[in-house]
Amino acid sequence: MKNIFILCSMLLALPSNLFSQDYIYLRDQQQRIAAKNIKISATEIWYENHDTDDGQVYSIKPDQVSLIAYENGEVRMMQSRAKIIKTYDFKRNLITYHLSDLIISNFTMSYERILQSGKLGIQIPVSFGYGSGDNFGDNVLISKFYSGIYVNFYPNGQGKVRYLLGPGVRLGVGHDNDNSDSQNYTDSFYGKLLVNNGVVFSPIPDLSLSLVLSLGIRYFPEAGTYNEEVRTTAAFSFNLSYRF
């Protein structure tokens, strides 16, 4: 909104001969450069002075430029380097330790790769269960191992605080802790389809804390007497991530 306001103010203040030549507007909004033969790279803007024909080429950093107005009517807004870095220059690999899984006697870690846009991540979890589940009560699926794949969407990109939303598939082996004889547990296959919703906070660039709520359905063909083969499921996780 601020950029739109600045752009409108500049266009209203321009003289009637705006489109007779190219103009480079500096970020201090106090100066413009009448230019020609403008060339732009990620680190430099080259131009010639419109009022001379000596062929001398000048350069300026993109950070110093607010917008470029071309004589054909095109207007190009220039991003500051800080904004470019926030959007594109980030580490794309995350190793995550799922701290809250310790409560249910699971050791869980995952690897996530953030794609170049910063708005999509592919995450693969691996979890090992080391408890019998006798202390969790009845009607509970006790996981001994699972893995899968999650697709995480980050609508606001990779900022200091970011929201994630996305589907996931989890496949594993576990047993149903129902009222049957606790000495006769038999581990068998199960699957889950989940939708993950979470918030990620990065106090420093290489470290992140996240809270994720997962909702979905579970398929467990060997469900016991007090359970069902297909039923709804939910999970909550508190995670610590290292970014590299």
Segment 6-28, tens digit of pLDDT: 555 555 445 444 456 899 988 87
Specify the domain boundaries for CATH 2.40.160.20 within the chain: 90-243
Give the count of beta carbons closer than 10 Å to the beta carbon of residue 26.
Answer: 14
Is 90-243 assigned to CATH 2.40.160.20? Answer: yes
At residue 114, does pLDDT exceed 60?
yes
Residues 6+ apart with CB under 8 A from 201: 160, 161, 208, 209, 210
Buried b (16+ CB within 10 A) or exposed e, 110-135: bebebeeebbebebebebebeeebee
- The H-assigned helical ranges of 40-191 are 81-88
**With 0-12 CB in 10 A as exposed, 13-18 as middle and 19+ as buried, what is 75?**
middle
Region 28-35: mean pLDDT is 81
Which among 63-67, 78-82, 111-115, 154-158 has the top mean pLDDT? 111-115
DSSP state, residue 2: H
Rounded to the nearest integer, the mean pLDDT of the chain is: 83
Q: What integer is the mean pLDDT of 156-166?
A: 91
